Structure 1
Amino acid sequence: MTTQAQETLQALGARLRGFRKDAGYTSGRAFAHATAWHESKVSRIEHGKQRPSEDDIRTWCQITGQSDQIGDLIAIVRHVDELWLEWRRQLHTGAEKRQHQAIPVYARTKLFRIWHPTVIWGTLQTTEYAVKVFEQVVNYYEIPDDSEAAVAKRLERQHYLYQGDRIFNVLLGEQALYTNFGGPDVMKGQLDRLLAVMRLPRLSLGIVPRSAPAPIWPGNSFSLFDDKLALVETYSAELSVSQPREIELYAKAFSLLQQAAVYGTAVRDLVLTAIQHFDRMPPQ
């Protein structure tokens, strides 16, 4: 959970604690008895350690005579939900919708800072590579298979590489050149694509070599959109960060990773070495 989400839950808990005390329930135990909840649940909610459900909010406000606050507090709970979006919930109808949601973010962003330690960034993917990625997404999350539509939406973002005055600073870990999606032919096509796009005037492509001294641990992949939003991907959820001081931490991490990266001819050499690696592999 983000610091922003934690602070929001703590503030919500303090507000609910005030409601309890104003209603004459001087202890959490007395309030738990009135709600038929366990005393520990009351304590966790009041200290911001548990996100109350919308029904919890309704019960709390009704018992404390604060029914007029229900709508406001439910809006706060829903905002906390938006800060930590489970993939299963985002992808329950398939992967295309999530890919479509990214397009407005790309349209209004001027500076992109992208870090992917093990996978080629989506906007630089070939069709064949993206197909293999989404096949894994469908199988892993057990969602409806709309891979073809999801791939089309992902590739639609590529036109932003060629339009406007956007700047793309992309960092990949060297492992991203070797993580095998689809076998040698797919990988060689994807690596050829990297060689082509690295010549784009507004794209800076850096590779962090596997043996480079690490100024910071690699961590999860993340994408920074201007100084307004950071998206961080985990296996279970996508973390949305908009708190300025948290965004500053991701910007600092990106700068440190840049110190370990190589550019230009050195990137080309690493990509060509990876192509040679897949040349030696038997077809799949």
Structure 2
Amino acid sequence: MSTDYQRAREELGRRLRELRVESPHGRLTGTDLARRLQWPQSKVSKLENGRQTPTDDDLLAWAEAVGQPAAVSELQARLKGFESHIRSWQRQLSAGHAPVQEGWNTLIGEARTLHAWDNFVVNGMLQTADYARNLFERYAEFRRSPRDAEDAVRARMKRQEWLYRPGKQLHTLMWEGTLWTRTCPPEVLAAQLDRLLGVVGMDTVRLGIVPLDAELRLPPANGFWLLDDRLAAVENWHAELWLDDAETIALYRRVWDTFAEAAVFGAEAQRVIAKVRRSIQV
């Protein structure tokens, strides 16, 4: 979690404490407020100390319980401001995958240099349409989100135009395990690997593969993107984390550099990809 995010959560907690202490009904203790709200006293303490993120309903209940309902809009605006760092998939995918992909197109379009680490699927900038379609369909089924795979695929393919623009550079690392992962039919995976073989050597792409038998100084962990030096985007099962403080971005860049030390590039990367490709019977 970013330093900025935690700081904002602590500031919101201090504001909640102020509203409790300055209640027009008379100063309330944390125990008094917990009793009014029928909450555990520990929840009041965690919210005030920035150790738990409140919901909109929590903020509404708090403001009413301390006799200051006019503060609700201010509190919810504070929450919305820092919660934007945590972009839950449930909210993002409420209208389907296509709007999310279009949003990423805008974000990527503003960047000159991308660094990516992928340990579960082929990087989206290098996916074939069939590979991407398969992923969108599977995720929509899993998350029970609207089925809009065709629109999402078109948006993702449009993003790949970035690779052919002057001054752009994609530095992407993939764990070899992503090449073996059978989350799509064999013929789709084979075509995807052919695509990867073809991008090795592109002027705007530096593709590295971390072999399964490479000695790693860090475990593969989760995938992430670095957009210039302004944003680290980390994907988890429940959400994307958008982290924009300099310390965190520098941390993820050190992680990327560490994996790069174990990666192979150029002809060696092609040999790893070709080995996997030969194993596929289509």
* Fold in common (TM above 0.5): yes
Q: Which of 237, 251, 264 in structure 1 is aligned with 2:266?
A: 264
Show the counterpart of 1:159.
161
Cα-to-partner distance string for 1:5-41 (whole Å, 9 max, x where unaligned): 3332122112221232233425201223444544333
Shift of 1:71: 3.1
More deviation in 136-145 or 34-43?
34-43
CA distance in 1, matches of 2:227, 2:19: 39
Any conservation in 2 of the 1:124–1:193 contact (CA below 8 Å)?
yes
CA distance in 1, matches of 2:208, 2:38: 57
Q: Which of 59, 62, 78 in structure 2 is aligned with 1:60?
A: 62
- The runs of 5 or more residues in structure 2 that have no matched partner are none
1:106 aligns with 2:108: yes
Show the counterpart of 1:146.
148
Percent of pairs identical after alignment? 33
More deviation in 19-28 or 62-71?
62-71
Show the counterpart of 2:120.
118
Structure 1 residues 96 and 103: CA distance shift in structure 2, 3 A: same
Structure 1 residues 32 and 206: CA distance shift in structure 2, 3 A: same
Show the counterpart of 2:199.
197
Q: SS of the counterpart of 2:96? A: coil
1:7 aligns with 2:26: no
Structure 1 residues 39 and 188: CA distance shift in structure 2, 3 A: same
Show the counterpart of 2:32.
30
CA distance in 1, matches of 2:71, 2:34: 20
Shift of 1:184: 2.4
Show the counterpart of 2:94.
92
CA distance in 1, matches of 2:5, 2:95: 26
Q: SS of the counterpart of 1:92? A: helix
- The runs of 5 or more residues in structure 1 that have no matched partner are none
Shift of 1:58: 3.8
Shift of 1:67: 5.3
CA distance in 1, matches of 2:54, 2:188: 47
Shift of 1:56: 3.3
Show the counterpart of 2:42.
40
Q: Across the two proteins, how many residue pairs are aligned to each other? A: 280
Any conservation in 2 of the 1:25–1:31 contact (CA below 8 Å)?
no
Amino acid at match of 2:12: L
Shift of 1:53: 2.7
Show the counterpart of 1:242.
244
Structure 1 residues 37 and 118: CA distance shift in structure 2, 3 A: closer
CA distance in 2, matches of 1:198, 1:188: 16
Q: TM-score, normalised by structure 1?
A: 0.91
CA distance in 2, matches of 1:59, 1:234: 30
Amino acid at match of 1:20: R
More deviation in 6-15 or 148-157?
6-15
Shift of 1:226: 0.8
Q: SS of the counterpart of 2:264? A: coil
Amino acid at match of 2:8: T
Structure 1 residues 55 and 272: CA distance shift in structure 2, 3 A: closer
Q: TM-score, normalised by structure 2?
A: 0.92
Shift of 1:59: 4.3
CA distance in 1, matches of 2:122, 2:40: 48
Any conservation in 2 of the 1:120–1:177 contact (CA below 8 Å)?
yes
Show the counterpart of 2:51.
49
Amino acid at match of 2:162: Y
Q: SS of the counterpart of 2:95? A: coil
Show the counterpart of 2:175.
173
Cα-to-partner distance string for 1:125-173 (whole Å, 9 max, x where unaligned): 0111111111211111111211111111111111000012011101000
Amino acid at match of 1:220: N
Cα-to-partner distance string for 1:209-247 (whole Å, 9 max, x where unaligned): 111111222110101101111111112211111122111
Show the counterpart of 1:21.
21
CA distance in 1, matches of 2:63, 2:95: 34
CA distance in 2, matches of 1:153, 1:73: 36
1:211 aligns with 2:201: no
Show the counterpart of 1:187.
189
What's the C-alpha RMSD, in Å, of the aligned pairs?
1.9
